[in-house]
């Protein structure tokens, strides 16, 4: 969030973890663009949120999964990679253009392998 936003507002503090998890960016409401979401609380605009593009969201989700597992996704065993694919499928990762290719690259497997993992999860 830019320095002119109220970083100490309790509402901003409350929504920050959610915005961070989505890979969004917070800014003062008067800096919001047409595609940004302005959040109001108790009758006043408090903060604006710029949501990431879908492809950026997928990258953000992949990085979060790596942090959660403590190592690059490509170093996971087959079972763990299958679980990652199930998580990503539930989050809609494969609806994003080039989603399978992006996930395959992060996991260090082929697209064919990702499709096999998807078929096993159904």
Does residue 5 register a pLDDT over 70?
no
Three-class SS of residue 99?
Answer: helix
Is residue 26 within 8 Å of 32, Cβ to Cβ? no
Per-residue pLDDT at 4: 41
Inform me whether the pLDDT recorded for 1 exceeds 80: no
Residue 52 has pLDDT above 90, yes or no: no
Instruction: Spell 63-86 as b/e; 16+ CB within 10 A means b.
Output: eebbeeeeeebeebeeeebbbbbe
This prediction has a pTM of 0.61
Look up tokens 């979401």; give the residue: 37
pLDDT of residue 121: 59
Read off the pLDDT of each residue in 29-51 and give the average, rounded to a whole number. Answer: 93
Under 8 Å between Cβ of 118 and 99: no
């Amino acid at each position: 969030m830019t320095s002119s936003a109220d970083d100490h507002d309790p509402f901003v503090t409350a929504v920050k973890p959610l915005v961070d998890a989505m890979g969004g960016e917070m800014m003062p409401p008067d800096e919001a663009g047409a595609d940004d979401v302005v959040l109001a609380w108790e009758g006043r605009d408090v903060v604006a949120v710029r949501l990431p593009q879908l492809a950026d969201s997928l990258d953000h989700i992949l990085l979060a999964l790596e942090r959660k597992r403590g190592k690059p996704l490509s170093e996971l065993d087959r079972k763990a990679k299958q679980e990652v694919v199930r998580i990503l499928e539930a989050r809609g990762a494969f609806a994003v253009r080039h989603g399978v290719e992006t996930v395959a690259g992060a996991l260090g497997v082929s697209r064919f392998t990702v499709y096999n993992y998807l078929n096993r999860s159904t």
